[in-house]
Amino acid sequence: MNNAVLNDTILPLLYMLAAMGFILAIKWLGSPATARRGVIVGEIGMLLAVVGTLLRFEVVNYQWIFVAFFLGTAIGIPIAYIMPMTAVPQRTAFSHACGALASALIGTAEYYKAMNQGPHATTVEMTALIVETLLGFLTFTASLMAFGKLQEVLPQRPITYKGQNFVNLGIFAAAAGIGLALIVSPEQTFLFPIFTALALTFGVLLIIPIGGADMPTVIALLNSYAGLSASAMGFVLNNKMLIVAGALDGSSGFILAIIMCRAMNRSFSNVLFGAFGQLQTSAAQAGDRPYRSAAAEEAAQILESARNVVIIPGYGMAVAQAQHKLREMFDILTKRGVNVEFAIHPVAGRMPGHMNVLLAEADVPYDKLREMDDINPEMPNCDVALIIGANDVVNPMAETDPKSPIAGMPIIQAYKARTVMVIKRSMNPGFAGIDNDLYYMPNTIMLFGDAKAFVSSLVKELGALARA
């Protein structure tokens, strides 16, 4: 009974080591110094888990498994290396879709297997199975929708209609109701396809009313669901390692979603059911307020004579691909003894932490990337706050105007700097259509132009000043 010994003693130990690997992986990812070690230990954990499963005596047919390994690897490697860093949010949404679908398909297979062997699934097994497939299928379509919005093959604007929340909740209630019926009487196999269809539909409808600006929260939340689905699979298979790995993923996504919501001063229900980004199109467009603008030459002189410069990038910077030029400017100023730092708002970018990755890719040292809460107390000492492609995250109306749609949202307090410079195409309000008082302040200078082109001319002017 060599095989049974292997199954009962050694393989569970491999699973336990794998779970430890995952825990250490997240622990070490906590800081940049140890992060890459974290990835390695995570990979080892995954290897142990896969080997530990392949060696189980129930597993006898290997050919399809290895074909799938091969295909998955062959598709996965090019995705990982070719994809540009601006596309990381889409890739993440896509992989949530893959992970959730995998988990849902396994749940489906488990269900039909249990039914073929004579319907004897226990209530506990069925509950776990229904949770697994419900979360799996709805996360699958929801992630595909999120992918479509991020990739801009679907409209970014929220799509709303009357009674939408009612319809959505109705479909979810129907899915949950049929799920419950399946738990009570699993042998009603005709219910399972209906259940699947409802879960898939709900996933689509859930994302339709959510705007592009809310994608960071949505991605984090879907991350959480995909993890919970894997954890539920652990209950079905009575596998502790799956439960642990899924729970880690579930809590991670959940925390990130909370952080994103806090950074926008909004609640989960408001993000999911609030259809943000539609209401403010009528917001007052105080067209004729006076403002000051300047050319690159003047701006370069101000930057050059500053001691502390804080650059506040937003997603517009990434869209314009200005990060590499910005790094050049950073280098010139740093060489001239100017202290240059980057202030990163938690929702800058299209997913949590996205802006940091984009700037790191442009070789900006990470100790110059500062968090909002960390840098705000220092803003009064800042000579120049340079805002590139950001709008709402520096809008002082979030603090001053309780009627503003972004009232209460924590902002980077650029207005406290001695001079504020804003690189912007024109005076048109941004994506959410909210006016920004910052642009009309006496110490604000508007720099009109494309982000990349303007930063390029700043670099040129600064270079000329350096030679003079």
Residues 317-346 that bind another protein (CB under 8 A): 344, 346
Instruction: Give helix 451-467 / helix 296-304 axis angle, nearest 10°.
Output: 60
Q: Which of 214, 249, 392, 435 is catalytic?
A: 392
Of 97-105, 411-419, 422-430, 450-458: span binding another protein (CB under 8 A): 97-105
Of 91-99, 145-153, 268-276, 306-314: span binding another protein (CB under 8 A): 91-99
Q: Which of 359, 378, 369 is nearest to 321 (CA)?
A: 359
Q: How far apart are CA 92 and CA 43, in angstroms?
A: 18
Does residue number 183 form part of the binding site for another protein (CB under 8 A)? no
Q: Which of 465, 422, 356 is nearest to 32 (CA)?
A: 356
Count of chain residues binding another protein (CB under 8 A) = 112
Q: How far apart are CA 351 and CA 215, in angstroms?
A: 7
End-to-end, the C-alpha distance of the chain in Å comes to 85
Task: Work out which of 366, 381, 425, 466 binds another protein, going by CB under 8 A.
Answer: 366
Residues 292-321 that bind another protein (CB under 8 A): none
Looking up tokens 């729970």 gives: 247
Residues 219-278 that bind another protein (CB under 8 A): 219-220, 223, 226-227, 229-231, 233-253, 255-256, 259
Q: Smallest distance from the beta carbon of 205 to another protein, in angstroms?
A: 23
Residues 425-464 that bind another protein (CB under 8 A): none
Does residue number 96 form part of the binding site for another protein (CB under 8 A)? yes
Does residue number 10 form part of the binding site for another protein (CB under 8 A)? no
**Quick check: 362 and 318 in contact, CB under 8 A?**
no
Task: Work out which of 5, 10, 13, 109 binds another protein, going by CB under 8 A.
Answer: 109
Q: How far apart are CA 329 and CA 457, in angstroms?
A: 10
Report which secondary-structure segment, H or E, holds 369.
strand 369-371
Question: Phi/psi at 347 (nearest 5 deg)?
Answer: -100, 15
Cβ proximity to another protein, 5 vs 51, nearer residue: 51
Q: Which of 313, 99, 112, 118 is nearest to 224 (CA)?
A: 99
Name the DSSP class of 420: E
Q: Which of 262, 255, 413 is nearest to 346 (CA)?
A: 262
Does residue number 27 form part of the binding site for another protein (CB under 8 A)? yes
Does residue number 368 form part of the binding site for another protein (CB under 8 A)? yes
Task: Work out which of 6, 16, 17, 105 binds another protein, going by CB under 8 A.
Answer: 105
Does residue number 80 form part of the binding site for another protein (CB under 8 A)? yes
Cβ proximity to another protein, 106 vs 205, nearer residue: 106
Cβ proximity to another protein, 80 vs 284, nearer residue: 80
**Quick check: 406 and 392 in contact, CB under 8 A?**
yes
Q: Strand pairing partners for 293?
A: 446
Here the tokens at position 414 are 């650029």
Residues 185-224 that bind another protein (CB under 8 A): 219-220, 223
Does residue number 35 form part of the binding site for another protein (CB under 8 A)? yes
Instruction: Tell me, yes or no, if 374 is annotated catalytic.
Output: no
Does residue number 99 form part of the binding site for another protein (CB under 8 A)? yes
Active-site residue numbers? 392
